[in-house]
Amino acid sequence: MQKILLIDVDGTLIDSYPGIRESFIEGLEAVGARVPGEDVLRHIPGPPMIENYRDLGLEGEDLSTAMDTYISSQRSGAWKNCEVFPGIPELLRTWRDEGFILATATSKAESSAQRVLEHFDLLGYFHVLGAAEEADKPGRSRQKKDDVIEHTLGLLRDVEGAPLVGGEVDPSQVLMIGDRKHDLEGAKKFGIQAALVTWGYGSEEEHAAAAFTARDAEELGGVVDEFSQETNTHAAGTPAAVTRVTAG
């Protein structure tokens, strides 16, 4: 049975912090807001950018202006201020060759994710681009990571060979790979296991909450191998279709 890897982009595949930091600060300066220290800025990649601005107290017109400025800065070229983490192209190639179904699950807009993946010749490894906003429906942003994951799972239903039960993706055959707590929390709502990479923008506390962690690309390859072997070994009976888990 084919396995699915849901993969975050910023902080997992791409070190996009320099460009994101630049645009984020421009957004704050556009409304005269105080720029926080590096200890705060370092953790802005991962959650939707609007959440980061809200966390700093922006709302209403200031929030809209900051977001518009951020987006304009990114589109003007700040997005290019990034690089691929070591070993990522080789990992993606290996996973694709081994028959994994690859999908992004990113809080970036689809157009932004496509642009950066094309820039580094990584787009061709992915069967599906799951993102916060669809390229043909701008402005319809998915505010939370679980919304992105739900959308991505819907797209994956139509991928040939995807593990389905009752017409829905089997969550036991899916692994979420990210770098922040938002990736863990989003995956958990659908009964999906998650692995966090420590080279991204998460804290040690976030890493400690993950079932799997990886310090480099080689370790991440081992994590995926372990996940694949475990799901093959423990597969029995009829798996449950993916459903959103509501906190009790």
* CATH superfamily, domain at 17-80: Putative phosphatase; domain 2 (1.10.150.240)
Average pLDDT of the segment spanning 87-95: 98
Mean pLDDT over each residue of the chain, to the nearest integer: 91
Specify the range with the lowest mean pLDDT, choosing from 13-17, 52-56, 59-63, 231-235.
231-235
Average pLDDT of the segment spanning 49-55: 93
- Please indicate whether residue 140 or residue 242 has the higher confidence score (pLDDT): 140
pTM of the shown model: 0.87
pLDDT grade for 134, boundaries at 50, 70 and 90: low
Give residue limits of the domains in the chain. 4-14+83-234, 17-80
State the SS3 of 173-206.
HEEEEECCHHHHHHHHCCCCEEEEECCCCCCHHH
- The 3-state DSSP class for residue 83 equals strand
* CATH class for the domain made up of 4-14+83-234: alpha beta
List, for residues 184-211, the tens digit of each pLDDT value: 999 999 999 999 999 999 999 999 999 9
